[in-house]
Amino acid sequence: MAERVDLQLSGHFVEGYLVASGVYRGYVPTSVTADFSGGYRLTPNVRLHAAATDLFNHRQFQTFGGSVEGRRVLAGITATF
């Protein structure tokens, strides 16, 4: 069973910083996020997988004046031939 399952949990810490880009000038605050990914191999040729970024939905932005980013979850199936 263990060879069929793979799991990963990771964290990211980014210290706050000043940004000056074009007309946008300001401070991007410190952010901490957790990401998770996992997969399950159904057969030797078929694998289900999913990944979640910003698992706890700490809405943040990475550039002053940029869009606010939150949780994103993706899932899929991979088949090899």
List the chain pLDDT tens, one digit each, 81 residues. Answer: 668 999 999 999 989 989 887 887 888 888 889 999 999 999 999 999 999 998 888 887 776 667 778 899 999 999 999
Please give the structure tokens belonging to residue 41: 């191999």
**pTM exceeds 0.85, yes or no:** no
- How many helices (DSSP H) and strands (DSSP E) are in the chain? 0, 6
Q: How many Å apart are CA 12 and CA 54, to the nearest integer?
A: 9
What does the domain layout of the chain look like in residue ranges?
2-79
CATH number, domain 2-79: 2.20.200
